[in-house]
Structure 1
Amino acid sequence: MKTFTYSKLLLFLCTCCYLSTYAQTTVSDDKELRDLVNSASAGSVFIIPNGTYRDFEARFSDAKGTPGNPIIIKAETIGGVTFTKESVFSLKRCEHIVLEGFVFDCEGENTLVKLEGSNNIRITRNVFELKTTVPIKWVFIGGIYNDYTFQHTSHHNRIDHNIFQNKTTPGHYITIDGTSNQDESDSRQSQYDRIDHNYFKNNSPRAKNEQESIRIGWSQMSKSSGFTIVEHNLFEDCDGDPEIVSVKSCDNIIRHNTFRKSYGTLSFRHGNRNRAEGNYFFGDNKPNGTFESSTIHTGGIRIYGTDHVIVNNYMEGLKGTIWNAPIALTQGDAIDGNSTNLTKHFRAERVTIAYNTLVNNTYGIEIGYDKPGRNPYNVKLKDITIANNIVTGSTNSMISYINGNDQGGEVKFFNNIMYPTGSANLTSDGSTFAANQVNEINPGLTFDGTV
């Protein structure tokens, strides 16, 4: 009994100590919030009372929490604070800050949350929506404008448990950028950022370019390593760009995400050594669409660059072909290391595609599209391994060599199971495989809930 009483007393004293050290401050004025946060000590908590706030400009500079005691800026209750019109949050050279529980229902021409040269910022449990007529990046992580010194770079930020919805113009829901020197000869992506457990929906209509739901890096930054992790997110009706998620840098991981009825692909567009693992892609019977007289489809994964790993992904009911095939290995127009034009489509080289399951898609694995015309993709693939996959479907081919481009033995098959049914065939050119390459047998799949 004495031990129990002392334990309760100790807990009470610790709680009192915490509350006195890290007192909560209620603040409803944006300028007051700016001044308080910019001068705050680690562990400070700022609560914005429930209500609607128009043109709320929360701009912070050099505000710094610590790993164990971040500065927290949050709504009184989750979803109880709505920002409207030209409201923005901007963090410059900030560290260890949490933004939590807000609804952004804004209009205008500003990024909603912008991180410049900031690290360990967490953006969590918010809703983002922006009505605008111009291209806008909604959440942006990068360097400091006109600072080319790499003194303040962004890293280790987290965007989690948010809803991003109803995008109608170019720009991205989330942009992971970075810092460049003045002539952009040295461009470095923000590193070790994590995007997880978010819901991305209703990104449409289709634009020509620059309406990805997430863009990681860009062409001039494509040689840098991002170490970004995108995991456990849901993408639904994200049709705004041929690339739902566009990876344009090195050493990133895209894993355990679900893509539903979205026109386009997860695209390894630039960069090397990226990994796509354990993602689910569902067509959900979404009919093909049109854009500028072209047909657009639900798709899977498209690959350029070197040393990627595509493993353990599941694709069902996708209707895409060429750019949007379940697994799209087009030819390229350049070889990694042989061109200084980083906007090129560098051929896929030393890529491992293993343990993936393709079920009842309109097309299967497509290899060798050469994009005829003024800028043909005439550089063949090199050293591609396709191993231990299951591919089954009732239309077209399990393996299609587009325009007969079979890549001259550079695509190697090991221990795959492929099972064409209905009007489908094994390969588009009638070629066959040895038993240790492709076993043409019924994989015995059964329907279990959604897969």
Structure 2
Amino acid sequence: MKKHTVLLSLTLLLLSFQSKSQFNIQKVTNSFELQNAISKVKAGDVIIMANGIWKDVNIKFIGKGTKENPITLTGETAGKVTIEGASDLKLSGEYLIIKDLHFKNGYTPSSTVIQFGIDSKTFANHSRVTNCVIENFTQPNREVSDHWVELWGRYNQLDHCNLIGKSNFGPTVRVFLKGNEHINNYHKIVYNHFGPRPRKGGPHGETIQIGDSGTSMAPSYTSVANNFFDRCNGEVEIISNKSNYNEFRNNIFFESEGSLVLRHGNYCTIDGNIFIGNEKSEFMGGIRVINTGHWITNNYFYNIKGKGFRSALAVMNGIPKSPLNRYMQVTDVVVANNTFIDCISPFQFSVGVNIDKKDVLPPSEIRSERPERMIMANNLIYNQTPDNYPIVAYDKVDGVLFKNNFTNAINKTDIANTGLVTTDFQINKAADYLYIPTKNQDDVYKGFDFDKIATDLFGTSRKTQNSVGAINLPVKPNTTLINKTLYGTIWFVKEAPVYVTKTHHVTNNNELIKKLKIAHSGDILILKAGVYKLDASLVINKNITIISKDKKRKAELQFEGDKAAFDMHPKGVLYLENIVLKGNKSQCAFASLEKNMSQAFNLFVKNTEISDFKTVLMVYKASFADTISFDNSNIKNCSSGIVLNTETDAGGDYNAEFVYITNSKFDNIESTVLDYYRGGYDESTIGGNLILKNNTFTNCGKAEKSKILIQNQGIVNVDFSNNTFKNNPIDTIAILWGEKGQKPVNNTVINSGEIKIEQNLKQKLMY
């Protein structure tokens, strides 16, 4: 018997070796060898791309593997195979695996970097992209649209990847449902590290979009689980759900300026997600609810300071007989067993309501359908400052049933009645960002189908102990909310080492040019007092500070020629302090590149004198500044001021996210001092921020073409206060947008026209 067993084992082992020997493992060193190997590939084969730089490659990975014997395309050593230049990768077939590749120093020449399909007829099923990195692989022109990963077909998976730094138009990851071959797809997007993604300055900057308006009623069954969304700030929608039956589980949204948005589609599950904000930003949100049948359970919200569309839980009104691309009514939604810690008014209902604008909007834009058959139950709300209202409603909330929600805040509205219980309870800090109550609130509402909320945030069963909120006590010792090692690749260094800033002392023209060129990002150039005559632009393509050594004796930079004094390049950050800038009336003091501004720049000007330039700041189309700041500066004798008006396509884009003009003097600016423009309007895409405060404007706007001194057309958030306008020969200082709460505060106007408020600003809707 033993002999027969041994013989059988040896036979099986031999057959195993024979089977494996049939598989081909081939190493390739160039594009020709790679495509030749792919053309001959069969189930179980492995193609290894040699270490090194693969530049300008367009890979079409086609093959038919099996579940037991997939076909693999991999790098020789994880992190040592980089795909650069104008490159992309498309896969088509069955049971394909791509892993250990690093896309960097380039951009896709097509519409995607990695695509689970080659054309409309050939796509991938049961395939996987894993352990790969796409890093700053962004288009030179920010207006060019692409997607870094497109999922087509069925049963495909994106996992343990890092996708970092997309700054151009288009979602980072896009799931398509166009055709029966792509619905009911059961894709998995799991254990990835998304971000940081910088602010884009308009719509179409999502990190993940599942479906679109046209296919939003189709079933997708896509799972987005256990991902880390790290400072994903592209736009107001981090995830844009636009299809049915998707699941969003156990994801972490860390300091991301936006929300998980159920934009279209029905019957989604949002369970066990963690939303972490901070005190510095009012743009970090939670979940925005539209449509039918969603279950929102076991989610944890910490320090979410967003309001309206970006509140911790934003529930919208619908449009009667809404087209697919607008807003459906919220019905049959359950929000249960969630915890909200230090969130400003976490429950906000009828967000974006505009039923009072029937005389302004067409019927297709009037959001009057309130939520119906919605249940808010067993949620826990805690605020260190209990005077924060737990509920804000912009319309009646008569279609929402509140049951057994507990808060330490005083409910100062008549909403929720007995369904929102104010009680004195305490919380303790268990770990970074994690605060748990000292005891369970076990007065739980047992609603219909609530037994399917079987576990809490940490997977603890609710059968024996069920408590209000996302967390059941006791919590296991050493429980943490964030473990970054779980997400993305193992080999990719996610955070650069801390750089120690160096100081460079500059005494003359040549030293300034030379040391600016060799300086590392983050360095400081200290200029000795004196005159620096320059006939070429100073290029700012890194983070640099230029400052005078002696505040009382400022270094003076005199610029000749017709080029900009400072050329702001992608990723350029300039801190300019205690400097005198003089032009010759023919150039800009600061200007972006006219094209290929692939990423944002930043400009901070403080205690600086600027005079005799044609334009103070010129930003060209498709250029974007995250922050522009002029503080305590004196700007005079220029033809025009700060020009941020080139996004005129009515697509909702604009040239700068934050514009701060504070404590400064503007004298003899011949035309408009500030032209900050946003063309096109989608109310869910919140953007454009202007602080105009404590400034003095004198003798500005005298050019015949000047119609307005401060132009902020379409900008949503404006602080217009404590300014003085004296002897400016214009009729209109500014037109503020009354609907957005904009109003002038404590401004002094002497012989300078008027500040107007227009309640319903005429804006071209994007839809």
Between the aligned partners of 2:90 and 2:233, the Cα distance in structure 1 is 28
Partner of 1:418: 407
Partner of 1:343: 325
Deviations 1:10-54 (A, max 9, x none): 797466335412231111222332232243211011111111110
Partner of 1:208: 202
CA distance 1:12–1:30, change in 2 (3 Å): same
Alignment of 1:131 with 2:132, yes or no, is: no
Alignment of 1:441 with 2:423, yes or no, is: yes
Aligned to 2:299, which of 308, 313, 317? 313
Aligned length in residues: 411
Q: Which amino acid aligns with 1:414?
A: K
Deviation at 1:206, TM superposition (A): 3.2
Aligned to 2:367, which of 353, 360, 377? 377
Between the aligned partners of 2:175 and 2:367, the Cα distance in structure 1 is 28
Aligned to 1:277, which of 271, 279, 303? 271
Partner of 1:239: 233
- State whether residues 378 and 406 of structure 2, in contact with CA within 8 Å, keep that contact through their aligned partners in structure 1: yes
The 3-state SS of whatever aligns with 2:333 is strand
CA distance 1:29–1:347, change in 2 (3 Å): same
What are the within-5 Å matches in structure 2 for residues 187-266 of structure 1? 189=183, 191-266=185-260
C-alpha RMSD over aligned residues: 2.3
Q: Which amino acid aligns with 1:191?
A: N
Q: Which amino acid aligns with 2:406?
A: I
The 3-state SS of whatever aligns with 1:307 is coil
Dislocated runs of 4+, deviation >6 Å:
1-12
- Give the fraction of aligned pairs with identical amino acids, expressed as a percent: 27
Which stretch of structure 1 is more off in the superposition, 107-116 or 49-58?
A: 107-116
Deviations 1:138-161 (A, max 9, x none): 11123xxxxxxxxxxx00000000
- State whether residues 154 and 181 of structure 2, in contact with CA within 8 Å, keep that contact through their aligned partners in structure 1: no
Between the aligned partners of 1:304 and 1:54, the Cα distance in structure 2 is 44
Higher relative contact order (CA 8 A, sep 6+): 1
Partner of 1:80: 80
Deviation at 1:415, TM superposition (A): 1.4
Partner of 1:167: 166
Partner of 1:390: 380
Q: Please, what TM-score do these two structures have when normalized by structure 1?
A: 0.86
Between the aligned partners of 1:34 and 1:401, the Cα distance in structure 2 is 60
- State whether residues 26 and 37 of structure 2, in contact with CA within 8 Å, keep that contact through their aligned partners in structure 1: no
Deviations 1:258-278 (A, max 9, x none): 001011100000001011000
CA distance 1:44–1:255, change in 2 (3 Å): same
- State whether residues 370 and 396 of structure 2, in contact with CA within 8 Å, keep that contact through their aligned partners in structure 1: no
The 3-state SS of whatever aligns with 2:351 is coil
Between the aligned partners of 1:188 and 1:42, the Cα distance in structure 2 is 24
Between the aligned partners of 1:65 and 1:438, the Cα distance in structure 2 is 56
Deviations 1:359-393 (A, max 9, x none): 10122111122433533321111111001110122
Q: Which amino acid aligns with 2:86?
A: E
Gaps of 5+ in 2: 118-122, 435-767
Q: Which amino acid aligns with 1:171?
A: G
Partner of 1:147: none
- State whether residues 332 and 379 of structure 1, in contact with CA within 8 Å, keep that contact through their aligned partners in structure 2: yes
- State whether residues 198 and 232 of structure 1, in contact with CA within 8 Å, keep that contact through their aligned partners in structure 2: yes
Between the aligned partners of 2:369 and 2:220, the Cα distance in structure 1 is 27
- State whether residues 154 and 182 of structure 2, in contact with CA within 8 Å, keep that contact through their aligned partners in structure 1: no
Alignment of 1:354 with 2:340, yes or no, is: no
Q: Which amino acid aligns with 1:138?
A: W
Between the aligned partners of 2:138 and 2:416, the Cα distance in structure 1 is 54
Partner of 1:401: 393
Between the aligned partners of 2:247 and 2:196, the Cα distance in structure 1 is 24
Between the aligned partners of 1:170 and 1:21, the Cα distance in structure 2 is 46
Deviation at 1:120, TM superposition (A): 1.0
- State whether residues 78 and 101 of structure 1, in contact with CA within 8 Å, keep that contact through their aligned partners in structure 2: yes
Partner of 2:102: 103
Deviations 1:227-270 (A, max 9, x none): 00000000011011211011000000000000010111000000
Gaps of 5+ in 1: 143-153, 181-185, 289-296
The 3-state SS of whatever aligns with 2:165 is strand
